[in-house]
């Protein structure tokens, strides 16, 4: 059955999407503060369609592509966890899909490609329109990195070229994430894993696994085991290397350790989630002063942001606010990562019943990086919910933000 079919009732759509995500009725009910029997009542039609705030809470858990998928109302055809599609997506997709098996073109050296990658990461972290900035760079970078692998003359050169290609795919995955092309996202993630394995570079392997873990986890509860499998296998591979490794390898091991906690928090495993967070924090403290990984953002300061995320994913409103207040003074050098942290804080304030603070925090996220909030389903859920608020001032504020991020027409 297709949830887009017009004849389906709300309850039927809800059951289809819940089943696709691998959730029981009790699990879905618990994630939105209700019971399994309440979910059954909605699915069987015994209960009426709930209010918008509840629909948005269900959409968040089910990670539907848009509200129409759940409601059937094409007037609510609003993209949530899949963004609207960036204007440069087609060009990036074409570059990924092209496969230059034979070419007479001579490409820059691996050293030159790595220098371009370094500039691209700096651009991503500093630009408020970071998707536009890296979207303009990616097509040529993807093509050149692919050809560099083909033209490598020695085994060492080929491994170095594969490491660069893996990193190009990592940058590409940041661009493709939350856009309406799940197949492209998985193609990029899988190619990144293959290139990293071929490179035999521990850092490249760790980064590719870090991104693959996120892709699995964001697909839904049915994929949490796959996320853990990739994550924990990579940590096991890295463990013997850590004693004499570079800060970069230590950082990717720390980032993977936190990801294990993130997945545990999604499962509702409080003790496991915080234990992984504490272990990752100890690893961050072992990094050199001022170290900040350009891909994962793993560092000492980021652990405060990670604490907010753990509390939010566990749906602990009071703890989310406490962690948000504790993290307020930290400095995150990356604009998109700073915006993402603000969105996590806003989720915490919303859970804690502080919608005005949540909206103010989302406004800060928009100031830091408009393209981050535009493609974030959690932020859009909060804005849409408060745009329907009974409080006139809050409704007006949310509506103004909805216009800024493209949810409502001006």
How does pLDDT run across 18-32, given as a tens digit for each residue? 888 788 899 888 888
Contact 142, 168 (CB under 8 A): yes
Task: Provide Rg for the chain, Cα atoms.
Answer: 22
pLDDT digit string, tens, across residues 178-207: 888 889 999 999 999 999 999 999 999 999
The predicted pLDDT at position 389 comes to 87
In a 13 Å sphere around the CA of 299, the CA atoms on its Cβ side amount to 18
Residue % of the chain over a pLDDT of 90: 68
Domain shared by 132 and 173, yes or no: yes
Asked whether residue 1 carries a pLDDT value surpassing 60, the answer given is no
The verdict on residue 234 lying in a domain is no
Asked whether residue 76 carries a pLDDT value surpassing 80, the answer given is no
The verdict on residue 114 lying in a domain is yes
116 to each of 103, 109, 144, 211, 256, how far by Cα in Å? 21, 11, 11, 21, 26
Of 183, 200, 217, at which residue does a domain stop?
A: 200
Domain shared by 52 and 114, yes or no: no
The predicted pLDDT at position 108 comes to 82
Separation of alpha carbons 396 and 403, rounded Å: 11
Lowest mean pLDDT among 71-75, 85-89, 315-319, 350-354: 71-75
Of 49, 76, 103, at which residue does a domain stop?
A: 76
* Mean local confidence (pLDDT), 230-244: 95
Q: In degrees, to the nearest 5, what angle opens at C-alpha 88 toward C-alphas 297 and 115?
A: 45
- Which of the residue ranges 28-37, 65-74, 173-182 has the most confident prediction, judged by mean pLDDT? 173-182
Domain shared by 400 and 333, yes or no: yes
Phi/psi at 374 (5° precision): -65, -30
Instruction: For residue 345, give its domain range.
Output: 301-410
Give me the number of domains the chain comprises.
Answer: 3
* Mean local confidence (pLDDT), 374-386: 90
DSSP result, 4-68: T-TT--HHHHHHHHHHHTT--HHHHHHHTT--HHHHHHHHHTSS----HHHHHHHHHHHT-SBHH
Of 178, 200, 222, at which residue does a domain stop?
A: 200
Domain shared by 105 and 170, yes or no: yes
The predicted pLDDT at position 3 comes to 47
The verdict on residue 378 lying in a domain is yes
Read off the pTM: 0.85
pLDDT digit string, tens, across residues 265-307: 999 999 999 999 999 999 999 999 999 999 999 999 999 999 9
Domain shared by 165 and 110, yes or no: yes
Asked whether residue 75 carries a pLDDT value surpassing 70, the answer given is no
pLDDT digit string, tens, across residues 98-144: 877 666 677 788 999 999 999 999 999 999 999 999 999 999 999 99
Separation of alpha carbons 16 and 212, rounded Å: 26
The verdict on residue 211 lying in a domain is no
The verdict on residue 120 lying in a domain is yes
Asked whether residue 409 carries a pLDDT value surpassing 70, the answer given is no
Domain shared by 95 and 43, yes or no: no
**Confidence band of 346 (pLDDT split at 50, 70, 90):** very high
Domain shared by 343 and 322, yes or no: yes
The predicted pLDDT at position 289 comes to 93
The verdict on residue 46 lying in a domain is yes
Domain shared by 89 and 194, yes or no: yes
The predicted pLDDT at position 74 comes to 57
The CATH number of residue 56's host domain is 1.10.260.40
Domain shared by 126 and 196, yes or no: yes
The predicted pLDDT at position 387 comes to 87
The verdict on residue 223 lying in a domain is no
Asked whether residue 408 carries a pLDDT value surpassing 80, the answer given is no
The CATH number of residue 369's host domain is 1.25.40
Domain shared by 99 and 173, yes or no: yes
The verdict on residue 363 lying in a domain is yes
Domain shared by 399 and 337, yes or no: yes
Domain shared by 23 and 110, yes or no: no
Structure tokens belonging to residue 395: 């409704």
82 to each of 200, 201, 236, 251, 317, how far by Cα in Å? 33, 32, 33, 29, 26
């Amino acid at each position: 059955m297709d949830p887009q079919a017009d004849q389906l009732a709300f309850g039927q759509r809800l059951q289809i999407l819940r089943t696709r995500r691998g959730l029981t009725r009790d699990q879905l009910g618990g994630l939105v503060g209700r019971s399994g029997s309440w979910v059954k009542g909605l699915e069987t039609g015994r209960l009426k369609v709930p209010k918008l705030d509840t629909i948005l809470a269900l959409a968040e858990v089910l990670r539907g592509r848009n509200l129409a998928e759940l409601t059937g109302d094409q007037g609510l055809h609003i993209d949530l966890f899949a963004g609207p599609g960036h204007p440069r997506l087609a060009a990036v997709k074409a570059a990924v899909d092209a496969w230059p098996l034979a070419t007479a073109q001579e490409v820059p050296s691996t050293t030159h490609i790595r220098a371009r990658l370094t500039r691209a990461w700096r651009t991503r972290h500093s630009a408020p329109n970071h998707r536009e900035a890296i979207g303009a760079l990616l097509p040529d970078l993807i093509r050149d990195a692919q050809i560099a692998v083909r033209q490598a003359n020695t085994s060492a050169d080929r491994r170095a070229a594969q490491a660069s290609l893996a990193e190009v795919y990592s940058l590409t995955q940041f661009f493709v994430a939350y856009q309406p092309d799940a197949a492209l996202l998985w193609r990029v993630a899988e190619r990144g894993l293959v290139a990293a394995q071929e490179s035999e570079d521990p850092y490249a392997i760790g980064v590719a696994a870090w991104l693959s873990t996120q892709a699995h986890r964001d697909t839904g509860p049915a994929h949490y085991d796959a996320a853990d499998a990739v994550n924990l296998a990579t940590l096991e591979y890295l463990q013997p290397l850590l004693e004499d490794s570079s800060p970069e390898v230590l950082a990717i091991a720390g980032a993977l350790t936190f990801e294990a906690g993130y997945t545990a928090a999604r499962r509702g495993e409080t003790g496991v989630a915080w234990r992984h967070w504490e272990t990752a924090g100890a690893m961050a403290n072992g990094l050199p002063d001022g170290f900040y990984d350009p891909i994962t953002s793993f560092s000492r300061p980021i652990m405060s942001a990670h604490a907010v995320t753990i509390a939010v994913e566990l749906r602990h409103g009071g703890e989310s606010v406490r962690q948000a207040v504790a993290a307020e003074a930290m400095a995150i050098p990356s604009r998109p990562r700073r915006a993402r942290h603000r969105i996590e804080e806003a989720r915490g304030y919303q859970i804690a019943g502080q919608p005005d603070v949540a909206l103010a925090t989302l406004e800060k996220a928009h100031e830091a990086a408009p393209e981050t909030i535009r493609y974030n389903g959690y932020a859009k859920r909060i804005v849409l919910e408060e745009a329907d608020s009974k409080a006139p001032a809050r409704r007006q504020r949310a509506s103004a933000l909805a216009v800024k991020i493209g949810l409502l027409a001006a």
